Structure 1
Amino acid sequence: MDGILPLWKERGMTSHDCVFKVRKILHMKKVGHTGTLDPNVDGVLPICLGSGTKLVELLMDKTKVYTGEITFGFATTTEDLDGEIVTEQTIENAIPDETIQEAMQQLTGHIVQIPPMFSAIKVNGKRLYEYAREGIEVERPEHPVYVDAFEMASASSLIDGRQSFQFKVVCGKGTYVRTLASDLGQALGVPATMTSLTRAASTPFKQEDCLTLDQLREAVENDDFSWLVSIEESLSAYPQWHVPSSETMLHKLIDNGSVLDLSVLPSELQAQLPVTVFLDDKIKALYDLHPSKDGKIKPTKMF
């Protein structure tokens, strides 16, 4: 079985738990996920199956959409509800929503984040959360990310000295959404915590495309595999190059993953790289510009 399972990860499980359960349900070993979701986060988690595991890096690089809640008035060690409260401040007067939205806008585009101590980034060969569990604070490397949008999704409310609101984030790979919440609070002069998070989309998949583990189990028991997204479908956003069957030498070169001259591509595709390459109507490779040889293209993935 080769392709993608658009899984809806429920709260209380790690991404690794999901992979383990999918392996058992489908009775296959070659299974991989496309980006860790914390146990307290639910949402879209594409699972790669068989040859589809070659798409893990490509899917991890795609844009993600998150929704959730931010609360002003306290901060935790983990920047979410998993940690211990380290700072509290009663919000006497609500910060105007317009002011909040303006501060959120300043956290979009190319920005630099300092990863939270409770994160999986390695420093000197050791993950930050391992230092944190030992009570050791270490200097954390700056982490450049791209945030397409960071905006309020509801009016804020002030209850018992804490101000909360719903938010939406559209961002690229590696963005720490809980750090966005923390940095927003710092910009506004109040402690802040991400109090809820859902991954609403992981390009090209949305919630309505997904199955829960229970739904997957039921589908498999009923011999229903209509949920499987083929490799071709997963890469449908890329331009396609169908190599004519008459080009036997070119077929052999592509079949062997050879570096090619850019000029062999149809002229209309030369400015649209990367492209998916089809031999005899079957996807064979994803070709892109060669990183060091001008006028050349090379496969970044072979199928």
Structure 2
Amino acid sequence: MINGILAVWKPKGMTSHDVVFKLRKMLRMKKIGHTGTLDPEVDGVLVVCLGKGTRLVELLMDSPKVYFGEITLGTSTETEDAHGEVVDQKAVLQPVSNEKIDKAMSTFEGVIEQIPPMYSAVKVNGRRLYEYAREGLEVERPIRNTVIHSFERDGEPVYNQESGTQSWKFKVDCGKGTYVRTLTVDLGKKLGYPAHMSKLTRLQTSGFSDSESYTLEEIQTLIDNEEINDKVATIETALKHIPKIELDDELYDRVKNGQVLLKADFEQDFQEPMAFYYKDKIIALYRQHPEKELYIKPYKMFV
């Protein structure tokens, strides 16, 4: 069994589950999971955890994500992207200036509130929002906070007088749970027009970028040439951003058995989560004990 992390380039037209299903057949292993769904018509980096690496799914899902996309002013759709039915139109009679666009985009940086789109997997009263949407129903949705680290225009806008639309590329660095579709719709509202997300590509997630990802065809070639193990990132590599402690023999015995530990046993200040290593191999991740302030307890075990 392979244990580790593999960054896959998901093509348009496939679901994230399709990619995992294919990899299970290609690698002949069942224990595979991904760290964050991409919509079928969005391409980009899909980070996949293999074997013991699946224990990192929850942790890696929390990491920032970077997207490259396109917004189109003048029309909005029921799905907030280019694949839904048009629900509102307002012709852009004069191109919006770069200065106005950039100023509006900058107002979304920081902690913002979003209402999840009806075509999303968020659950309300035990049902997915897209299930209501497919029945033509609109329900009240919970407001969520998310973080936008940066939201910037990329290149010159393109104005189409014939269609009454204006489009431009953008790059966004955002936190977990951000709906980029909704971000473009809200930006359009700020500029006074209906809008939708006309294109989207994920460039980075879970600490892996597009330059580190492999297509399914490339992965098959690596498997055929028995080179796939060389391309799978180790669990240690995926945890490189987590504070670490190298254990001595005594503490190793206690940690591998999942014992609760006293924070005072360690010289360095405890940061959550903390990665414990023995001879440069990850043994466990520990977190603050929920009931005992002076203690820490296992969060994920790798032995």
Say whether the fold is shared (TM-score over 0.5): yes
Identify the residue that residue 15 of structure 1 maps to in structure 2.
16
**What is the CA-CA distance between 1:125 and the residue it aligns to?**
0.3
TM norm structure 1: 0.95
Alignment correspondent of 2:84: 83
3-state DSSP of counterpart to 1:20: helix
In structure 1, give the amino acid aligned to 2:278. Answer: L
- Displacement after TM superposition at 1:271 (Å): 4.7
2:245 corresponds to which residue? 241
Q: Please, what is the CA RMSD of the aligned residues?
A: 1.2
Give the 3-state SS of the residue equivalent to 1:6 in structure 2.
strand
Q: 2:27 aligns to what? A: 26
Structure 1 runs (4+) greater than 2 angstroms displaced? 250-253, 271-275, 279-282, 288-293
Partners of 2:135 and 2:53 in 1: CA distance: 38
Q: CA shift at 1:187, angstroms?
A: 1.1
2:60 and 2:206 in contact (8 A); partners too: yes
Amino acid at match of 1:229: A
What residue in structure 2 maps to residue 140 of structure 1? Answer: 141
CA distance in structure 2 between the aligned counterparts of 1:97 and 1:260, rounded to whole angstroms: 56
Matches of 2:291 and 2:145 in 1, distance apart?
Answer: 24
* Correspondence for 1:229: 233
Q: Does the aligned pair in 1 maintain the 2:49–2:56 contact within 8 Å?
A: yes
Q: Distance in 1 between matches of 2:286 and 2:239?
A: 12
Distance between the aligned counterparts of 2:134 and 2:56, measured in 1? 34
Structure 2 residue runs without a partner (length 5+): none
Deviations 1:164-192 (A, max 9, x none): 00001101110000000000011111001
Work out whether 1:199 is the aligned partner of 2:202: yes
* Contact kept? 2:47, 2:206, Cα under 8 Å: no
Q: What is the aligned partner in structure 2 of residue 110 from structure 1?
A: 111
Aligned length, in residue pairs:
298
Instruction: Please give the TM-score of this superposition, normalised by the length of structure 2.
Output: 0.95
CA distance in 2, matches of 1:283, 1:173: 25
The match for 1:299 is 298
* 2:185 match: 182
What is the 5 A alignment of 1:207-222?
Answer: 207-222=210-225
Correspondence for 1:72? 73
Offset from partner CA, 1:198-237 (integer Å, 9 cap, x none): 0001131011101000000011001012111010111112
Q: Return the offset for 1:283.
A: 1.1
**1:44 matches 2:45:** yes
Percent sequence identity is 51
